[in-house]
Amino acid sequence: MAFAFAKSETPKASGTAAPNTPVVRNADVHWTHLNPKRGDLAPSAATLWGDRNGQQATGFLLRPSDGFESPPHIHNITYRGIVIRGLIHNDDPDAAEMWMPPGSFWTQPKGETHITAAKGDDILAYIEIDSGPYLVQPKEGAFDSGERPVNIDPSNIVWLDADQAGHMTPSSAASANPTPQVAFLWGEVKQGRTRGMFAKLPAEFSGTITSSASEFRAVVIAGNPTYTSPDTGKSETLEPGSYFSSDPSETETTHAISSAADSETLLYLRSNRSYQINAR
């Protein structure tokens, strides 16, 4: 699966990282209407990387209001979603309500008629596409792409210790108590193939994530980790919805990250090569 890193609408980094390891804090993103045709009736959206109006892969934040419910509609492309805050329901218009809590993962196949609803005081989700543009289209254009939706509640996610999954060196694993964990969400676990995973770093974890991938992207889903730029050495707290990455490179990049003392960190990681989580 190839990706073109064309001109991006990604917000400028917060000033704490050099261009080859961009950092985008949730507080610094630019919000617009997800569906301009519906204006304020549509959820707000903010791009973290890529360009949802272009043709490349893109990741963006979704911020619906409490009580939001879309009319039945379709999309021209398949997307993936992760609930960060609040509750989200995404299903066939006639389906019984199934509210997904924070940490849930879902997919919406292209061409399938569905509704999206939300409730909560502060709702936030991460949405990802493999190609654009991201369009909202009338239900009358529905078609069967052959794909089927996936809805995974946090209680159904299968976690593996990072060392068992080959994402942590034995020496580091011995020093980390408890051990970081990972969960496979989508894609093929082969070098050069893009895949999406969760990484759960326990409270008080301090260490690094090292990658030589040509695509490595991380979104904070839960927790308030401290991230240290490999370029400037400056540290900052990243709230949920924040993002860091390595620009395309053949060189190895090490991202230093620490969990807060009272809460674990949950990251969504998109990469086309394996990476190593190392405890200090």
45-86: pLDDT as tens digits: 999 999 999 999 999 999 999 999 999 999 999 999 999 999
Consecutive 10-residue averages of pLDDT for the chain (280 residues) = 31 44 91 86 93 95 96 97 98 95 98 97 97 95 96 96 83 79 90 91 95 92 94 90 83 92 96 90
Q: Compute the distance between CA of residue 80 and CA of residue 147 in angstroms, rounded to an integer.
A: 12
Question: E strand or H helix at 268, and its extent?
Answer: strand 265-271
Q: Compute the distance between CA of residue 56 and CA of residue 265 in angstroms, rounded to an integer.
A: 29
**What residues does 270 pair with on adjacent strands?**
196, 217
- pLDDT for the residue numbered 5: 25
Structure tokens of 246?
């390595």
Amino acid at 233: G
Q: Tokens 């240290």 map to which residue?
A: 228
- pLDDT for the residue numbered 104: 98
Q: Compute the distance between CA of residue 280 and CA of residue 266 in angstroms, rounded to an integer.
A: 18
Q: Which fold has domain 158-279?
A: Jelly Rolls (2.60.120)
CATH number of 23-154: 2.60.120.10
Three-state DSSP state, 37: helix
- Within 10 angstroms of residue 197's Cβ, the number of other Cβ atoms is 20
CATH 2.60.120.10 range(s) for the chain read 23-154, 158-279
Structure tokens of 279?
């405890």
- pLDDT for the residue numbered 170: 74
Give backbone dihedrals phi and psi of 5, rounded to 5 degrees, phi first. Answer: -95, 75
- pLDDT for the residue numbered 248: 66
